[in-house]
A and B are shown apart, each in its own frame.
Chain A
Amino acid sequence: MRVDRDPKTAKGSSVTAASSLDNHSGPIVRVVALRKQVVSPEGPLVILDDINFTIDRGESVAVVGASGSGKSTLLSLLAGLDTPSAGRVWLAGADLGELDEDGRALLRAQRVGFVFQSFQLLLGLTALENVMLPLELAGQPEPRRSALDLLERVGLKARARHYPTQLSGGEQQRVAIARAFAGNPDVLFADEPTGNLDQKTGHRIVDLLFDLNREQGTTLILVTHDAELAAYCDRVLELDDGRLQGETRKAEAR
């Protein structure tokens, strides 16, 4: 049982559901009977159905599947960015269904980092300000120094004052990775992180992502249709037409 008094939650929160996070044990993500259904012009459309799995701390998991298999939707539900039609999701010990929108936001601020296919940097902020953002949202001390350290780690310290539009795609994704790790998250969600990059740049981004992941002991949950990228992970969950079809666990380290 891991008992670590995390300074970031000691700051105190108005959301009571989030206060039980301090010393939970067991899986970082637990999904039970998850279902997502939307109303389309042709009637109800089931995107995800009867999804069950758990992910342990420090694991790296790839969710793979064809386009439209529901993998991005699954990611959004795991991260509390959207709400399921049925079933439950526990993230870092908290039942997402019991949290409201702001409660989930607070949980993300404290526990979760994101890397997106299209980077999703805020164009109005400099690279440094983008990385500072989650630190400030989580109320961490000295956000500027930590952010600069992280930019140095991804090799972009010299570009700290540049705006996203002044950076190449690969550089933008490195800023996004710095931002994702800035909050010192327990879980990192990555949605096709190399999808918009050429192969060579993509390789470098993946290396960076996994290196940081190892250094910080983060749980990595990665959505991709790229089998090569998925092979980097400890475990691969395969989605087909909204259902979990199979699970491959790597026997030995990469």
Chain B
Amino acid sequence: MAHSTTTLVPGRVASAALGLALAAVMLLGVLFLLQENGLLLSADAASYLHEATHDARHALGVPCH
């Protein structure tokens, strides 16, 4: 019994941490897609991304120029 709890709990904590970190990465992906305006990308790439996602940015209610 003691053995099973000591192996289960760290696994469950690690799994929860991994899962919630993955969720955060997904939300950062949304942020990148809808709010990247030259922080990580070059100016040309950023303005291409901005134009390509422009309708979605407005429709999803994200602030835009």
B is bound to A:
no
B contacts, CB < 8 Å to A? none
